[in-house]
Amino acid sequence: AQSVAQPEDQVNVAEGNPLTVKCTYSVSGNPYLFWYVQYPNRGLQFLLKYITGDNLVKGSYGFEAEFNKSQTSFHLKKPSALVSDSALYFCAAPIRGGGSQGNLIFGKGTKLSVKP
Amino acid sequence: NAGVTQTPKFQVLKTGQSMTLQCAQDMNHNSMYWYRQDPGMGLRLIYYSASEGTTDKGEVPNGYNVSRLNKREFSLRLESAAPSQTSVYFCASSTIPTNEKLFFGSGTQLSVL
């Protein structure tokens, strides 16, 4: 079965430190991968996506993600965390094959907490 | 710049009551979706509409029905609400079904007592 996993329920980081939010995937074929962010009481917002090409993808708000095919990972990173980055982060990938082809499957989410 | 608009924002129902969640988008998107979000479970797809005039079941369709009223509007109906349907519901839209980013509404928090 195709899946997206986020192994950490919560990540705690001090402001100014680098942050990493982890994602691993198991999907058919060449993966297309996404990161979304959800601020409190809001809907999800698109951060970035990997389709093909460079393994390092840059997105909104200074975030970037590194695609690693051998480790089947797509970790979200930021060099210097801000308190305002505190939110819920979701990794996602489109389903391949079957009736739901193309629809996104989401990881369970990782809560990022950045302390001053 | 309304984007995706959902109504209502909050709703409390008693078991067995029915209600319809409304969703409209003004971005001329072809595809629309209904997700539910439960703690520790991420987002799960209830129903989707790849284009106007079509609807299909997602991962968790039981207990729900949908209507793609026109290109802009996609409603979700609970015919007989159950406590297991207590959740936060999100509507989303995209230009095409595959590999494109989703635009989400702000959600409807539903409690079924």
Q: What is the mean pLDDT of residues A21-44?
A: 89
* Closest residue of chain B to A30, computed from CA coordinates: B99
Q: What is the pLDDT of residue A7?
A: 95
How far is it, in rounded angstroms, from Cα B33 to Cα B78?
15
Burial environment of residue B50 by CB neighbours within 10 A (0 to 12, 13 to 18, 19 or more)? buried
How do beta strands A56-58 and B42-49 pair?
Answer: unpaired
- Percent pLDDT > 90 in chain B is 77
Q: Does A103 touch chain B (CB under 8 A)?
A: yes
pLDDT of the residue at B59:
87
Flag whether pLDDT at A100 surpasses 60: no
> For residue A97, what pLDDT is reported?
57
Rounded mean pLDDT, A73-95: 94
The pLDDT mean for chain A works out to: 90
Position A30 pLDDT exceeds 90: no
Closest alpha carbon to A32 in A55, A47, A51:
A51
By the CB < 8 Å criterion, does A106 face chain B? yes
Closest CB to A103 among B4, B58, B103: B58
pLDDT confidence of A71, banded at 50, 70, 90? Answer: very high
Query: Which of B57, B62, B60, B67 lies closest to B43 in space, CA to CA?
Result: B60
Nearest to B107 by CA among B92, B93, B88: B88
Q: Please tell me which residue, A7 or A95, carries the higher pLDDT value.
A: A7
Q: Which residues contact B8 (CB under 8 A, 6 or more apart)?
A: B21, B108
Which among A46, A51, A107 has the least Cβ separation from residue B102?
A46
For A43, nearest residue in chain B (alpha carbons): B106
Average pLDDT over residues A83-93: 95
